[in-house]
Every structure is written in structure tokens, then in C-alpha cells.
Structure 1
Amino acid sequence: MTGSGIAPTVVVVHGLYMNGWLLKPLARRIERCGFRAHLFTYHDLRWTLKRNGELLARFSESLPGPLHFVAHSLGGLVVLEALGRLPPERLGRLVFLGTPYQGSRVAEQLARFPLTRWLLGRSVREGLLTARPRWEGRAELGVIAGNRPLGLGMIVGRPPRPHDGTVGIEETHIPGATDTLVLPVTHTEMLFSAQVAHQVCVFLRQGCFARPVVAQAPAA
């Protein structure tokens, strides 16, 4: 709670091929930490990244600040697109989960062929594969990557190792991020992992992740 007794606001943003309701387990864990979570849903296939960023900024305008953002995968790029439309004094902390800021090898491989390129949707084709929004250090940012290599990405492409089954750890690198962390989870497990949720809450409270983290070897 803040000094006024109002729970800090966290906007939770989903990734590609998802909907806000899939992030409800993560949102519930965030709320148990004393925050108030709001789920944002966007159209990743139909609308561009710029359009989705505009809608996120508009969605956030009516919420009490400062605004924290927690975003999974492509959702992190949607948040970056929205940040330039929000006043700096409204921004709290950000946590990105498996966001391919450096690009996605899997997406690039799918984009090579007409039969699979359409699967990426407009937000990926016109954002991730071309002019991605850039991080300008407007808030404290925590980045969590996974190193458990199981997932759909291994079926449709070859993410760079080590990876979380879809996104390579090197692809999540954001220069100037406040703190980074690698956990033994897949790309999808990030949404349901109690350990990930705990680290998200710690960063939102204090601006860094909790350490030490118990090491666990990734699956072969």
C-alpha cells in the first residue's frame, strides 16, 4: 500500500497468441503482494505494434499512478511503444518476461516463407521484424529470461542457445536495464511460476531482484 492507503497499480500485458485472461494467475500473485493488477488485452494479429501501444497508453490514462508494468514476451514491446505517450511522472517500475528486445530468430525463420509469415500477425511483422521501439531508460526496468529449453519455438524454429523454448537469453538483453535475472522456466511457464511472480513483486517493491537465486540446471 502507498501512504494514502491505495494499492499501487500494475498493468499486466500478455504476449503473442494470448489474451489477458491467461495472465490471471500471475495477476493474482501480484495482488497478493499488495498491488492492484489490471489486465490489458490487445490484438496482436490484426493491429500494429504502434496501434497497440496507443491503446495501452489510453487504457492506462484512467488508472491511478504511478503505473507499474509487467509484460510477457511481445507485450514488453507494446509497453515500450506506450511509454512515449505517458508523462514521466506517471511511470513506476517495469518488469519484462522473455521479451525479445534484440529480435527473434524464430520469428525471422517464420517470416521467410509466405505460408508461415501470416502467423506472426501485424504487431510482429511491423514491429519485431522491422523498426522495434527502443528503450530510453525512462524508468527502472527489470528483465527476466528463462533457460528451460522446451516450447513451441523449438518446433517452428531454432532459438539461439541458451533459450526458454522460444526466445534466446541473448534476445532479451536490454542495454541500460536496471537488473536482469535468468530463471529455470520455459517461455510459457513464466506466466504460472511462483518463483517468477515472487521476483516480479520484489522488483516492483525495491527496484532489484532478490538474490541469491537457487540454481537449477535447464532441461536438455
Structure 2
Amino acid sequence: MRWFCVMAIVGGLIAPAIAQENPGVSLASAIQRTVEDELSMKTLGGGQFWGDVVFFHGWHIQQNVFTKHYRLLDEHDNRHASGTLEQCREKLDQIKGDRKLPPMSGRGVVLVHGILRSSKCMNAMAETLKAAGYIPFQFDYPSTQVSIPDAAEYLHQTIESLAGIEELSIVAHSMGGLVSRAYFAEHHDPRLHRVVMLATPNHGAELADLVHQIFLVRAAAGPGGRQLVTDAKGLIPSLPVPKCEFAIIAGARNNPAGWNPLIPGDDDGTVTVASTRLVGAADFSTVHAPHTSILRNRAAIEQTLRFLSEGRLQADRAAVAITDKPEPMANVTSPAAPSPAPSAQE
């Protein structure tokens, strides 16, 4: 009670300035907004236990994978509501009205991270897309707690929530590419324009075959991680290709040994170049980068942006489609490029 009184006093001091700067906002609304802002709480992390289901500009509603309750977060991950989905939607609708937030419109890109990562690992990609006029939606899902098809249902709910966005694309890293393919197994949105998969093990990850022999690794990886193996009878061979134009960018070292001597052929340390290739892709290339660094690799980011806008990965050549006959690697390899510094939020 004492803390609420303090916040009310603070609101009474700050709110008049807010109302003065925003003539359309009443003093009462300004006080309410100020108190709510002060009472909003920073989340305590735990990103592996939450999945996004609704986006509106920088606001998003997430569901807890265990308790099944929901929370409403702003773009800084401050929590503004918690409870049922309806309660969080009502709070978001109230915020839309109080802050006069405009409807969404334009070209959106859903960014899908890989296993053991969060949406923050896509910050460099998101910043570049935003600068180019796209609206990035940095999608989170509990990658170590659910199967790949279950993760795809979170993606489906997120895509359905993007009302007003006229054109949608997906940029996915590693297991995120498989989550995207699993989405297309059950769903499709006519707004989906293009998909870019970065370092996705489209035929399974040989490294997963090795490490998943260790019980603790299998347990930590969760249901989705256990589906990453190269099993001809497993999940991955059953997944469809995207139902729209798509391209693939693989990390490579551009030599037969790759980054990791434990897996065969050129690789990014985790996924082989051969495993990333998927028949039906409109374009394919490699960049000189390890598995996680590809998300900050300047060449990979530039190629992603070019494919979304032009339908090809590289400016100096036509698209190289993947057919049932492998393309010569010399024709699709990109030169090494420096990577931008990682975002402070990663």
C-alpha cells in the first residue's frame, strides 16, 4: 500500500507534464499511464519457458509452457499484465487506446531463432531489416521444452496475430528453419512471400547424432533437440518445403574439413553444408562463418535482405536453384566477410 501511494504521488508530479506535451490526453489518463508504467515489472528471464502467441508493434503476449498462463510484455520485456489470454488482450487493447497506437501495416519479417537461443540473437538481423523498411517480429519459443511441431503452433498463432501486415516473410536460424517447415505442414498464410533459412539442418545434424548419445545432453535438448538427428524415419524427412519462395544460406569454412573435424565435409561446426541443402530452394549460398556467428555475419545479413527484396541472394549472379542435381559449390560460395560487433543485448 505504501509503495502504491508513492507511485501515485510520482504520477501526480509527472503526469501534468505528460498531459501538457500531449493535448489529447486528459490529466486522469496521464496519471493512470504514469502509475502503470512505474508498476510494470521487468521479467526475470526464463525465456526457455515462454512462447509468443500475439504481436502488436513492440508489444507481445507470451504463454508459459508449464503453467499455460500468459503475460503481456512491452518492447523492453517489462511485464504489464499476467493471467489469461483474454486478460492480456484486454490490457493490450487498453494500452492501444490510451497511447493511441496506430494499426500495423507494411512488410513484416518473423525472425525465428534456433535451439537454446532467444530472439535477442537475431538483433543484428532485425536492425538491418528495420533500416530497410521492414517490420521485424523477433519471435520467441521454448526451444528446449517442446517438439518442433509444437513450436510451429506458437509460430502459427504469432503469424495469425499480425493483423494489418500486408506481406510477411520468415528468416529462420538452425532449428528455427525446421520449425518454419513444420508450420507449413499444417498451416499457410497467403501473405507469406519468402523464407530464408540460415544454417538449418534440413537433413538432420550429424553433431546431434554424436552428442545425443550422452543422456544428459538428450535430456537438456528436450523433445525438439532430440528430433535434430539424421534419422531416415524421424521427423525431419517428413517435413514439407515452404509453400513460398525460399533460399538457404549455409555457414562454411570453404575446405573439405570444415570447422569441426568430428563431422564429415565442410560445415559450420554444427551443421554440414550438405545437410542445409533442400531441393526446391530458389537460391543457395555459403558464407565463411561458424554456426552461431552467421547471424552477425555481414554477408549473410546482406544476402538475406537481398533475397527478401529481389528474390536472389547475391548481387553479382543470378539465383542458383537447388534441383535434384547438386550445384557445384564453387558457383555458390561467398567470400569471407567481417561480422559486425554483437549486440549488447545478446
TM-score, reference length from structure 1: 0.86
Q: How much does 1:137 deviate?
A: 4.8
Letter in 2 for 1:215: P
Q: Which secondary structure state, in structure 2, belongs to the residue aligned with residue 8 of structure 1?
A: strand
Pick from 250, 261, 283: which aligns with 1:145?
Answer: 250
Aligned position for 2:273: 169
Residue 66 of structure 1 contacts residue 90 of structure 1 at CA under 8 Å; is this kept in 2? yes
Aligned position for 1:67: 168
Structure 1: distance between partners of 2:277 and 2:334: 22
Aligned position for 1:109: 210
Structure 1: distance between partners of 2:200 and 2:110: 16
Residue 111 of structure 2 contacts residue 136 of structure 2 at CA under 8 Å; is this kept in 1? yes
Structure 1: distance between partners of 2:274 and 2:187: 29
Instruction: Provide, for residues 167-206 of structure 1, a one-character-per-residue CA deviation record: whole Å limited to 9, x for no partner.
Output: 1100101011111001111111111122211100100011
Structure 2: distance between partners of 1:183 and 1:38: 24
Distance 1:146-1:214 versus aligned 2 partners, 3 A rule = closer
Residue 195 of structure 2 contacts residue 245 of structure 2 at CA under 8 Å; is this kept in 1? yes
Pick from 285, 308, 329: which aligns with 1:181?
Answer: 285
Letter in 1 for 2:244: A
Residue 268 of structure 2 contacts residue 291 of structure 2 at CA under 8 Å; is this kept in 1? yes
- Range 101-110 or range 82-91, more displaced: 82-91
Aligned position for 2:147: 48
Structure 1: distance between partners of 2:248 and 2:211: 25
Structure 2: distance between partners of 1:215 and 1:21: 27
Distance 1:22-1:7 versus aligned 2 partners, 3 A rule = same
Distance 1:206-1:16 versus aligned 2 partners, 3 A rule = same
Aligned position for 2:130: 31
Instruction: Provide, for residues 33-86 of structure 1, a one-character-per-residue CA deviation record: whole Å limited to 9, x for no partner.
Output: 221100111111111111100110101112124210000000000111112343
- Range 37-46 or range 105-114, more displaced: 105-114
RMSD over aligned CA atoms reads 2.1
Q: Which secondary structure state, in structure 2, belongs to the residue aligned with residue 94 of structure 1?
A: strand
Larger RCO: Structure 1 or Structure 2 (Cα < 8 Å, ≥ 6 residues apart)? 1
Q: How much does 1:88 deviate?
A: 4.6
Structure 1: distance between partners of 2:196 and 2:241: 15
- Whether 1:203 and 2:307 are equivalent positions in the alignment is yes
Percent sequence identity over aligned pairs: 28
Q: How much does 1:135 deviate?
A: 2.9
Structure 1: distance between partners of 2:217 and 2:188: 39
Q: How much does 1:106 deviate?
A: 0.4
Structure 2: distance between partners of 1:120 and 1:206: 37
Aligned position for 1:21: 120
Gap regions ≥5 residues in structure 2: 1-103, 317-332, 338-346
Structure 2: distance between partners of 1:207 and 1:95: 10
Q: Which secondary structure state, in structure 1, belongs to the residue aligned with residue 335 of structure 2?
A: coil
Q: Which secondary structure state, in structure 2, belongs to the residue aligned with residue 183 of structure 1?
A: strand
Structure 2: distance between partners of 1:83 and 1:99: 16
Q: Which secondary structure state, in structure 2, belongs to the residue aligned with residue 21 of structure 1?
A: helix
Residue 194 of structure 2 contacts residue 308 of structure 2 at CA under 8 Å; is this kept in 1? yes
Pick from 135, 153, 163: which aligns with 2:240?
Answer: 135
Q: Which secondary structure state, in structure 2, belongs to the residue aligned with residue 9 of structure 1?
A: strand
Residue 107 of structure 2 contacts residue 135 of structure 2 at CA under 8 Å; is this kept in 1? yes
Gap regions ≥5 residues in structure 1: none
Q: How much does 1:24 deviate?
A: 1.1
Q: How much does 1:124 deviate?
A: 2.1
- Whether 1:93 and 2:197 are equivalent positions in the alignment is no
Q: Which secondary structure state, in structure 2, belongs to the residue aligned with residue 84 of structure 1?
A: helix
Aligned position for 2:17: none
Residue 160 of structure 1 contacts residue 167 of structure 1 at CA under 8 Å; is this kept in 2? no
Aligned position for 1:215: 335
Task: Say which one has the larger Rg.
Answer: 2
